[in-house]
Amino acid sequence: MTEAGSGLYRRWRATLLGAAVALAGCSVAMPKLDPPIPAQWQHAMAAQAAAPTDLHSWWRAFDDSALNALVDQALAHNLDVAQAVERLRASRILQRHEGAHYLPSLHARTEQTIDPDASASYLVTGFDASWEFGLFGRAQGTRREAQGALDASMADLQAARVSLVAEVVRNWIELRTAQRQEQLLQRVGEIRGHQLDLLKVRQRLQLAPPGAVDQAAAAAAQAEAALAAPRQAANAAAQRLAVLLGRNRPDPAWQQPGPQPRLGAWQLPGTPAELLRTRPEIARAEADVLRAAGELGVAHADRFPSVGLGASMIWATDLNNNKKHTVSNGLISVGPLFDMPLFDWGLRAAAEHAKSHELKAAVLAYRQAVLQGVSEVETALGTLQQQQQRERRSLEAWQALQRVDGALQTRVTLKLDSPLALADGRIAADQAALELADARASRSLAYVALFKALGGAPLPADEAPAAPDGKATGAAH
């Protein structure tokens, strides 16, 4: 090539690259999400004598060491969480290498070529190098796609952890509540049996009205039949706990009756705006918006030329056996790469148009996720308020009937009343205790629903804030 031709080539390449760089800014902008978040909670609970509850350890408000241990074990061994961890690792690996598409690449190849006249054959070897610049927003779109996939995997992992913790706490509450109900129903059954014995004696003395013994026998049988429901509920809760902890059978220690979890002091943490940071469903929807924006950016870039640099080194060796010496020729070439869509340009434009609608749908889905999150928290807050009032009234009723039972015991001791009246009073008190146990469990479950809606769960170990000693905090393991 002459000096003039070489200069013209360099100027042409510089002009082409300059134009490409100037057009590189023609990328898709991220849409404004504008989340519909209210300023404050409508059903905010009155401030209690406690610091705001930590979203990463909210279940510790029950002050139950067995429950704390179960949550730790579940986070370490649950299979759904383990699957989400593996998917996150896969997304993280791909995200770390998303820029490799726009780095120089080198390929080695060999092939055999035969002349049409079959008088010679050649072994062709060489190297091909290419470097796509990722202009017109293509590289940016690829980065957004990879980051969106990573963010979605992180949100899915946290969603699995949130759901796991809530399910472990819920099933533990149901297990202990069912055991408490079984104890109370057994006591009612014993009192019913004692009533039946007393009425049989009165019937022999012809002091009981007709049918009284049959009514007492029916009540005793109904009390025995009522034991099936709590026993079945306790067994089902234990089985669900085993699955959550990655076990094939429940721990026998769970079958030993224990105290029903009681909710201690707590305080609602944060404001509605905190949902954008803590609720995994919202984070997942935001990641979908980012990924959709990346796909739109790539579709937009597909309508423009693909610009890059290419180079090749080729050696052709004559393998003709009729010659005493093989002949090898080499060739080196370097130049720009330019790929411009022509006849399929309309199809590419349609693909970009379709991706723009998908991005709009992702933004709407994000807004819907925010509204859904706010609604779930408000519903849980309202339910918690009602269940707190129900528990308070049930406690008052049980305490009143306990006083009545005490008074009846005194009257029976003084021979002023019949033992049958004492049995009726004790049954009424135990029925009130059953209602109190159910109210207490309902309030606790409403508390669980609230913190599940808030997105409360320990952070993964690699995302928890570092403690002063260098160990992660906020993680369960």
Does the pLDDT of residue 208 top 80, yes or no? Answer: no
pLDDT value of residue 238 = 96
* Cα-trace Rg, the chain: 37
For the domain 29-165+248-454, what is the CATH code?
A: 1.20.1600.10
pLDDT at 7 > cutoff 50: yes
Q: For 428-444, what is each residue's pLDDT tens digit?
A: 999 999 999 999 999 99
The total number of residues shown for the chain amounts to: 477
Tens-digit pLDDT profile for residues 19-74: 544 444 466 788 888 888 888 888 776 545 567 888 999 999 999 999 999 999 99
Where do the domains of the chain lie? 29-165+248-454
Q: What's residue 46's pLDDT?
A: 52
Helix (H) or strand (E) holding 77: helix 65-77
* pTM confidence score: 0.82
Q: In angstroms, rounded to a whole number, what is the distance separating the alpha carbons of residues 169 and 191?
A: 33
Name the pLDDT band for 13 (thresholds 50, 70, 90).
very low
User: How confident is the model over 167-194, as pLDDT tens digits?
Assistant: 999 999 999 999 999 999 999 999 988 8
The more confident residue out of 185 and 419 is 185
Q: What band does 327 get if pLDDT is binned at 50, 70 and 90?
A: low
Beta-carbon count within 10 A of 459 CB? 18
Please, is 146 exposed, middle or buried when counting C-beta atoms within 10 Å of its C-beta (0-12, 13-18, 19+)? buried
Write out pLDDT tens, residues 123-145: 778 788 877 888 888 888 889 98
Higher pLDDT, 435 or 207: 435
pLDDT at 196: 86
What average pLDDT does the segment 202-226 reach? 86
